[in-house]
Amino acid sequence: MPNSAGKRFKPTKYIPVSTAATLLVGSTTLFFVFTCPWLSKVISAAVPLYNGLVFIFVLANFSMATFMDPGVYPRADEDEDKDDDFRAPLYKNVEIKGIQVRMKWCATCHFYRPPRCSHCSVCDNCVEDFDHHCPWVNNCIGRRNYRYFFLFLLSLTIHMVGVFSFGLIFVLHHRERLGALHTTVTLVVMCIAGLFFIPVMGLTGFHMVLVARGRTTNEQVTGKFRGGVNPFTKGCCGNVKYVLCSPLAPRYIVDPRKKPSVKIQPPFIRPDLSDRQVTVKVSDNGIHSTITSSKSKKRLDAPDDNETQPPLPPKADRYNQLKSQLTSSEESSLSGKTHPSTPAMYKFRPSFGTMPKVHYHVTGEKIVMPDECKTSAILEEGVRSHDYKSEPNLDLPEYTNAPLHRTFQSSPFQLDSDTINSRTLSLKQGQRRPEKGQLPALQLQTVISTPYKSIFSPNTLSNRNGSLSYDSLLNPSLSPVTASECMSHRGMPSMGFHSPYLPTKMCHIRESEMQRHQVAPTYSPVIPSRGMGRHSPHPRDRDPSPVRYDNLSQTIMASIQERKEIEEREKRMRHGRSQTHIYVQDSGLFDGGYNPPPNACYPDGPRGPGSRGPTPPACGGSRDNLMGVGVVTYGQRTPVLRHAGSTLGRVPRTSSTSLHTDHSSTNSSHSKTTAPEGSYRSPAHQTHSPAMPRSPSYSHQKLSYMSAHERTDSPHLGGPREVMKVNGQMDCHPSAQGTTISPSRHSNVKKVTGVGGTTYEISV
C-alpha cells in the first residue's frame, strides 16, 4: 500500500483491514478444522479441496488488492508545472472520442489529472483510473489492482456461498447435537458468512454492473455520465475483456534506476532552416538576431536573418500602417517590458530560437542594419544583463538611452523617431527576456503585426484545449491603451505591472509599483489578447479574442487616455476608489477573456459560460487558491482578495449588505434578499436587454467583487459606496448602462463592441 512520505502511523486506518483479514482467515480456518473433516468423509474429499482452492484464490486476490500499487502517479516535477501553477485554469478540457472531458488541476500532485484519474485523500496520491479507496483492503483501487479487487469480490462471494452451504449441510446433519463444539463452531462460521454475505454480494453485484458498463465507482457515484455518454466504454464485452484480460499496467513510482547518462556536448546540430518560414526567434528580437549574426554567434536566429530579409517590404508596409494607428502603442513596450512574463510564459522559456514567426524581427533587423556593429554591441549588453530574468526590470531609463537612438538613426523606415524609440525599446526589452519571449513579442505586436499568437498556440494552448485563454490575457502591455498610459508615464520604469494575470507572488511584488501605475495595468491584460488574434496569421487553437483594440478609432484611444488622466487625478484623491473605477472599467474589458469563479459573482450565470466561448471549462477559476480570479484580476488587491476571494461566496453578500446599509441605496432591497450575485443579476437581467451583452452585468459582477474586496480593506470603504451607487445608478437607469463608474464622473461611457460580442465601456 503506497504511503506518502511523512505520514503518521494511524492505527485506526488498519482496523477495517485487520478485521476483514481476521474474519476471512479465521472463519475459513475454523471451517476447515471443524466442518471439512466430516464433509470429506461423508460427501467427498473434493469438498475441502474445492473450498481450499477457492480460499487460496480469495487470499491471493485479497493480497493483490491490498498490497498492489493501484497506479499512483508520482508528483510532477517542478519544471513541469511552473507555468501551470499560478494562474492557469482549474480545468482543462480534452476531447475523448468526441466527448469533452474535464481534467482538473491537482494542487497536491501538480499536474492536470488525466481522465479517470482522481486524487485519493486517504492515500494522498493521484491514482490512475481511480475507482475508490477500499477500507477493507486499506488501499486505493485503481487501474492496476481493480481486476484483483473484482476477482476478490467474486471469489469471496463464491467462498461465502460455499462455506455457508457446506456449513448448513453439516448443521442439518447434526441437528440433534447442536451444542457440540463442532456444530457450534460451524454455526458461528455460518452466521459470519451469512451476515457478511449480503453486503459482499451487494458490492459484487454493483461492481459487475460497473464492469459491464465500463465505469468506475467514482464515476458512478459522482454521476459523471448520468444521462450522458461514457467515452471510456468499449461495449459490454470489450469492458469485461478490458477488466479481466488486459495486461498488468506498469508502476509509475519506479525506483530511480541508474541509466547510462547521455552526454550532451555543444556545439549542437541545428536543423536546416532554409526552407522554412522562419522569423522571429527569440522574443522577437529582430535586432537581437542581427546582433548574433553580426557577432557570428551560432544563435538559432543567425541563419534566419539572411533568409528573412526578402520578405521585409510587405512587413514594412504593415508596420507603417500600424504605426499610424497606434501612435503610442509602442510605448506599451515600456509598460510591459519589464513585467515579468506571466507564468504561462515560462512554458516557452524560449531559448532564442523558440519564438516563432514574429515577422517583426525582420523589421528590427532592418533597423539596425546600417548601424549594426554599434547597436548590436549595445543591445547585446542590454540583453545580457537581463537574460532570463523573471523579475520586472526597473531599469527602464537605461533603455531610453543611446542605444535606442542609435538604432533609430539607421532606420530605413523613416519613422518618427519617437515611435522608433519606443519600438526599439520594445525590441530591446524583448531581447532582454529571451525566456519571456511571448511578452516581447506581444509588445511588438501593436507595432508590427506579428503573428505572435503562434507563440501561444503550440504547446500551451494545445495542452489546455478550450480552457481559459488566460495565456493571451497574460500578455500585457500591448494594448494601445497601455501604450497611451505609457506615454504619460514615460519616465517610469517598466513596471507597469500591466498584467492582472500575474501570479500572486508577482502581484505582491508589484503591488507597490502598481500603486504608481495603477492605471496602466488595467487595460493591458485584455488588450493584448484581443489584439493578438487578429495579427496571427497562423491558425490558432483558441478562439480569437473578441475585443480588438486595434479596431478602435483614435478618438477612443484618446478618450481612453483622457480617462486615465482623470483616474490618475481621482486616484490621488481617493486611493481606493480610483482602483475601484479601474476595476469597474475592467469589468467589461475582461469580459471576453476572463471567467471569475462561477460560484462567486457571476450575475449572468446561465448565460455567462455560454457566452464566454472557450472559457467556460475554466470557470472554476485559476488553480491558485481557486480564487485566483480575484488575485489575478485585481493585482493590486492581491492581499485583500486573497482572503476575500476564498469566501467569495460569502463575502459579497455581507459586504453588499453592509454597504447597502451604509448608504441607503436602491439596491439595498436587492442585496438583502438575495445573494449578491443574484441581486446584481436581477437588475442586470431585468434592466438590460440581452442585446446589451455582458458589460452591465459584468460591471455588476465586478462591482460585487470589488465590494467584497473593498470590504476587507477598510480604507477603501469609499469605494464600495461608489460601487453601490453605481449599482444603484445602473439599476435605476438602465439606459445608462453602466455608464458612470463613479458619481464624480458623469461623462459618457462609450460602449465598444468587439468581435465576438463582448463589450466594454470607456468613459469618454
Partner 1 sequence: MSTEFHNLQELRRSPSLLTKVFIQRDYSEGTTCRFQTKFPSELDNRIERPLIEETVKTLNSFYMEAEKIGGQSYLEGCLACATAYFIFFCMETRYEKVLKKISGYIQEQNEKIYAPRGLLLTDPIERGMRVLEISVYEDRGSGSSSPSSSMSSAGSSAR
Q: Work out how close the CB of 72 gets to partner 1 at its nearest, in angstroms, rounded to a whole number.
A: 8
> Count of residues binding partner 1 (CB under 8 A)?
88
Q: Work out how close the CB of 63 gets to partner 1 at its nearest, in angstroms, rounded to a whole number.
A: 8
User: What distance lies between CA 307 and its chain's CA centroid?
Assistant: 38
Interface of this chain with partner 1, residues 452 to 491, rule: CB under 8 A: 454-455, 457-459, 462-463
What does the DSSP assignment read for 444-498? HHHHS--TTHHHHIIIIIHHTTTS-THHHHH--S-SHHHHHHHHHTTTS-TT---
- Contact between 512 and partner 1 by CB under 8 A: the answer reads no
Q: How far apart are CA 603 and CA 591, in angstroms?
A: 12
Give residue 426's identity as a one-letter amino acid code.
Answer: S
Interface of this chain with partner 1, residues 56 to 75, rule: CB under 8 A: 56-57, 59-60, 63-64, 73-74
- Contact between 115 and partner 1 by CB under 8 A: the answer reads yes
DSSP state of 89: B
Residue span binding partner 1 (CB under 8 A) among the ranges 9-17, 344-352, 498-506, 586-594: 344-352
Which residue has 522569423 as its cell numbers? 279
Q: For residue 65, give the C-alpha cell.
A: 488488492
DSSP state of 748: -
Cβ atoms of 431 and 440 closer than 8 Å: yes
Q: Work out how close the CB of 306 gets to partner 1 at its nearest, in angstroms, rounded to a whole number.
A: 14
Interface of this chain with partner 1, residues 354 to 373, rule: CB under 8 A: 354, 356
SS3 752: strand
- Contact between 269 and partner 1 by CB under 8 A: the answer reads yes
Candidate list 176, 263, 414, 691; residue touching partner 1; CB under 8 A: 263
Q: Which is nearer to partner 1, 90 or 326 (CB)?
A: 90
Catalytic residue from among 36, 120, 126, 134: 134
Q: How many CB atoms lie within 10 A of CB 224?
A: 15
Element spanning 95, H or E: strand 91-96
Q: Work out how close the CB of 232 gets to partner 1 at its nearest, in angstroms, rounded to a whole number.
A: 6
Candidate list 13, 182, 213, 298; residue touching partner 1; CB under 8 A: 298
Angle at 383 between CA 379 and CA 384, to 5 degrees: 120
SS3 704: helix
Q: Work out how close the CB of 628 gets to partner 1 at its nearest, in angstroms, rounded to a whole number.
A: 22
Residue span binding partner 1 (CB under 8 A) among the ranges 335-343, 396-404, 451-459, 544-552: 451-459
Q: How far apart are CA 352 and CA 341, in angstroms?
A: 15
Interface of this chain with partner 1, residues 405 to 424, rule: CB under 8 A: none
Q: How many CB atoms lie within 10 A of CB 713?
A: 18
Q: Which is nearer to partner 1, 172 or 245 (CB)?
A: 245
Interface of this chain with partner 1, residues 202 to 241, rule: CB under 8 A: 231-232, 234, 241
Radius of gyration of the chain (CA): 33
Residue span binding partner 1 (CB under 8 A) among the ranges 272-280, 320-328, 365-373, 725-733: 272-280
- Contact between 114 and partner 1 by CB under 8 A: the answer reads yes
Which residue has 543611446 as its cell numbers? 402
Residue span binding partner 1 (CB under 8 A) among the ranges 37-45, 52-60, 479-487, 491-499: 52-60
Q: Work out how close the CB of 258 gets to partner 1 at its nearest, in angstroms, rounded to a whole number.
A: 12
Q: Work out how close the CB of 506 gets to partner 1 at its nearest, in angstroms, rounded to a whole number.
A: 19
* Catalytic residue status for 134: yes
Q: Which is nearer to partner 1, 311 or 743 (CB)?
A: 311
Residue span binding partner 1 (CB under 8 A) among the ranges 171-179, 294-302, 478-486, 495-503: 294-302
Q: Is the dihedral of CA 473, 477, 479, 485 positive or negative?
A: positive
Q: How far apart are CA 601 and CA 94, in angstroms?
A: 27
Interface of this chain with partner 1, residues 150 to 209, rule: CB under 8 A: 151
Element spanning 534, H or E: helix 526-535
Query: How far is the CA of 202 from the CAs of 167, 257, 391, 540, 735, in angstroms?
Result: 22, 44, 59, 51, 62
- Contact between 21 and partner 1 by CB under 8 A: the answer reads no
Q: Which is nearer to partner 1, 260 or 310 (CB)?
A: 260
The answer for 289, left when phi > 0, alpha when psi is -120 to 50, beta otherwise, is: alpha
- Contact between 383 and partner 1 by CB under 8 A: the answer reads yes
Interface of this chain with partner 1, residues 514 to 533, rule: CB under 8 A: none
- Residues involved in catalysis: 134
